[in-house]
Chain A
Amino acid sequence: MLTTVRALLPHVVRSSRKAPPVLCGVLALVLAALPLAVSYRMEVPYAVTLIRVVSVTVALGVAFALDDAADPTTQVTPTSRLLVRLTRIALSALPLVVVWLAALLLCRAAVPAEGRPYLPVGGLALEAAALLATTLAFAAVAVQVSAPTHGGLAAMPGLLLATTALTLLPDDVQPFAGPGSTSWDTSRWFWLTLLLGAVVVLGGLLREARHRRWRRSPAVAGPAAEELPATVEHEARSRRSAA
């Protein structure tokens, strides 16, 4: 398996779309560096908001990770599709995770030293992970139901619309809760659930397109099977005699 992955790597790198992750990564770093660049001493709530914007930006970058134009040609090769797709995800997600961490450090550096301990890094990392996984889940669904190259096309708008809708939820159920607010703890459960849900969806969809139907028992016959007998030889014979 490792040899396969190693052999695949250069091809996967070359066949992946690079512009979206690069654009998103650069945008995330620029946004995170802005307060430092203008020497703005950022308060913790503003830093949290900025990190959230960075998380969404980074998540958008993985939207195209599952797009695979060659999928129709390679879908029935013996190598597990999960392996190929995980390689794709890892290749585009890992650099973006590094970007997120760098952006986090940049934001943190702009917060005055006494405020830094109040930056809820763990909770924000959970949000970022959930957003990333949700984007991938959107992409996986789009690849499954639409076309192998439509993952990013659907995942980017999907994530943006979903995030916008989340920010519009009322305060008591607001997932982007303020740090230290009463709804912070409950909102972490939301993100954890979202993360797990997205991972489950991903796990289910990445294995193989239309895989679910393999589990159906082949003994279940459709009604049409009995109604329409295969009349091959019989029909051909009757035709010949009639002719």
Chain B
Amino acid sequence: MTGTSLAPVPTSPLPVSPRPRGAVGALFRIEAVRLLRHPAVLTGLVLYLALWAYEWGTGALAHRYPVLQDEDRYSQVPLLLIAAGAFIGNNLALTRAQRSGVAAVTDLLALAPWRRTLAQLLAPLPLAILSGLLVGARIAHLAAAPGAVGQPSLLELATGPLVVLLAGVAGVAVGRLTSMVAVGPLVILGMAIFTLVGAVTLSRPMLKWWGLVAIEDEFEPPLPADLMYRPVASHLVYLAACAAVCCAVALARSRIDRRIGVTAVGITAVLAVVAGAGQSVTVPGDVAARRTVAEREPSAQQTCRTVGTVTYCAFRDFEGRFDQWSTLVGGVLRHTPPDRASDRYVVRQRLLFGATTSAVSISPPLAAWTADDARAGTPGAVPVGTKWGTDQIGGDAMLSFAGHFAARVVTGEPPTEASALSVCRSRAVLVLWLAATATEETTAALRSLLPRTGGSVILPLVDSSLALSIGRQEVSVVRSLLDRPADQVGQQVIANWAELTRPETGTERAASLLGTRVQGPAAEGARC
């Protein structure tokens, strides 16, 4: 700095003419980059990617069997991290001038305050686009996972990025309303509580769609896309209307004409309320009708494929499950005598609506199913649900299906109350062992189930009240069998098949036939 010759200050070669629109554009670019580099946004992005990486790193993705028409909406909640970052970053950007003590300078700038607000309102756009790219990458990643089925909805995928945009403009609105930095995080907390309330009051879902993202009951089974009902399009309109309210509030507080400001806020607020009310929570009649048909007479909506001696029928969107089913069925049949293994079997996918919304499970419409199967020429089909995976819910569903298929093989009867009740003692041991050794995943599912049940095992048929109930004594036998090589036990199973499958063979006898011993007494009050 010193020592150099102090040359006269050159005058600007360009004549400066006021171009407010260009200034808004330039300011927008600066603020957008600043927002992308804001610590809160970066933290949100890092956490988002870290959660993704964690899932990837633990190998959970390989056994997730994603259903893409559900994964599309699951993409929304993690994006709330980036949305929170956008809110905070944009909110703090407004109070930046004040905090750094340059407000006195910036307040006198020629560019109208509302234009500066406008630039700030636009700033989250690139971040929203980035979020869209992340969501796209995420769904592509899931679609590439082995066993992925279904199709994502573009509207559901667009919700998350729109929430990021909304959060960004909401940050501006809050920043224009108050310069207290503590208010912003509290508003985020409020929004989080609102979303949480929506998620925990699923039985009375009035509030569900008024929040940022509508969370569904995770215990509900996945549905084919044409049987789903989520007013996503109306929700996007509602979110856009909310963003418009925020923009109106922010601009109204930027020293524009008071009447214009108040009118804009009023109109957009009415729009938002109308759009919010337009998100009907009741399932429309045509969807409800389709669901009834799908529940009672699914065969018309399904496609079937025969692999070996087994025919599999699935709803549209779920044809990808054939491979997993056939692997599991093959695993069950591996340890059965050749005559049983070469029998004809049918596996049909089933849906039960409202099976878990009330605490009491409902009984399956067996008569309707039997009639439907007869019409379709697939008598005695073993039902399988739409849940599938290695998490708790999916694992239980896999094990249940394996159990019911094994029961079908062992009893020779399709699942009914009577056939379920006949799975007792030796049969129960055999069914559970066949189910548990069908695949590595069912073995893991049984191991994960046992600590939660206190020793006995109940395998419901597609979440219905019809279930295989296996007592503690039988489970303990299976447990000890699982410690031995499956092929070794399998040979004993095939050799003693006739006696093991006889209803009157006792648990102790089964244990000794399979080379182990019964531990503990029989459960009291057991059904067998």
- Residues in A lying within 8 Å of B, measured CB to CB: 17, 19-20, 23-24, 27, 31, 46, 49, 53, 56-57, 60, 63-64, 152-154, 156-158, 160-162, 164-165, 168-171, 182
Interface size, chain B (Cβ < 8 Å): 36
Q: For the complex, is B78 an interface residue (Cβ under 8 Å from A)?
A: yes
Q: Is the CB of A157 within 8 A of B186?
A: no
A37 CB → nearest B CB, Å = 15
Q: Indicate if the CB atoms of A165 and B185 lie closer than 8 Å.
A: no
Name the A residues within 8 Å of B80 (CB-CB).
Answer: 164
Q: Is B133 an interface residue (CB 8 A)?
A: no
- Whether B51 contacts A156 by the Cβ 8 Å rule is no
Chain B residues lying within 8 Å of A31, measured Cβ to Cβ, are 193
The docked-state distance in angstroms from the alpha carbon of A183 to that of B280 is: 37
Bound together, the chains give a CA A170 to CA B52 distance in angstroms of: 11
Name which residue of chain A comes closest to B392, CB basis: A171
* A156 engages B78 (CB within 8 Å): no
User: Which residues of the partner chain A approach B193 to less than 8 Å between Cβ atoms?
Assistant: 31, 53
CB of B288 closer than 8 Å to a CB of A: no
Report B-chain residues with C-beta under 8 Å of the C-beta of A156: 181-182, 184-185
The CB with the most chain A CB atoms within 10 A, among B47, B189, B193, B196, is that of B189
Is B391 an interface position by the 8 A CB rule? yes
Instruction: Tell me which residues across on chain B come within 8 A of A53, comparing CB atoms.
Output: 193, 196
Given known A23-B182, A46-B200, A156-B185, contact A182–B451 (CB-CB < 8 A): yes
Question: Is there an interface contact between A164 and B181, defined as CB atoms closer than 8 Å?
Answer: no
Q: Is the CB of A182 within 8 A of B192?
A: no
Given the complex, which residues of B lie within 8 Å of A168, measured CB to CB?
51, 77-78, 81
State in angstroms the CA–CA spacing of A77 and B182 once bound together.
30
B: residues with CB less than 8 A from A are 39-40, 43-44, 47, 50-51, 54-55, 58, 60, 77-78, 80-81, 84-85, 88, 92, 180-186, 188-189, 192-193, 196, 200, 391-392, 451-452
Query: Are B196 and A160 in touch, CB under 8 angstroms?
Result: no
Contact (A182, B182) CB under 8 Å given A157-B84, A160-B192? no
A165 touches B47 (CB 8 A): yes
A60 and B189: CB pair below 8 A? yes
Using Cβ atoms and an 8 Å threshold, which residues of chain B touch A182? 451-452
Q: How far is the CA of A31 from the CA of B194 in the complex (A)?
A: 12
By DSSP majority rule, is chain B's interface helix, strand, loop, or mixed? helix
Residues A160 and B182 in contact, CB atoms below 8 Å apart: no
Within 8 Å CB of A153, what residues of B? 92, 181
B372 to chain A minimum Cβ distance, whole angstroms, is 36
The chain A residue with its CB closest to the CB of B82 is: A161
Q: Determine whether the beta carbon of A157 is less than 8 Å from that of B392.
A: no
Instruction: List 25 interface pairs A-B (beta carbons < 8 Å), by A numbering.
Output: A17-B182, A20-B182, A24-B186, A27-B189, A49-B196, A56-B189, A57-B189, A60-B186, A63-B185, A153-B92, A154-B39, A156-B182, A160-B188, A160-B192, A161-B40, A161-B43, A164-B80, A164-B84, A164-B192, A165-B47, A165-B50, A165-B81, A168-B81, A170-B54, A170-B55
Residue of A nearest to B181 (CB): A153
Q: Which residues of A sit under 8 angstroms from B200, Cβ to Cβ?
A: 46, 49
A162: B residues at CB distance < 8 A: 47
Q: How far is the CA of A25 from the CA of B51 in the complex (A)?
A: 31
With most chain B CB atoms within 10 A of its CB, the pick from A20, A23, A56, A161 is: A161
Interface centre among B58, B185, B451 (most CB of A within 10 A): B185
Chain A hits for B88, CB < 8 A: 157
**A157–B40 touching, CB < 8 Å:** yes
- Do A161 and B85 touch across chains, with their CB atoms under 8 A apart? yes
Which of B55, B78, B181, B196 has the largest number of chain A CB atoms within 10 A? B181
Residues of B within 8 A of A165 (CB): 47, 50-51, 81
- A149: nearest chain-B partner, CB-CB: B99
Select one of B43, B50, B81, B182 contacting A19, CB under 8 A: B182
Task: Kindly list chain B residues whose C-beta atoms are within 8 Å of the C-beta of A171.
Answer: 391-392
A165 to chain B, nearest CB (A): 4
Q: How far is the CB of A63 from chain B (nearest CB, A)?
A: 7
A149 vs chain B, min Cβ distance (A): 8
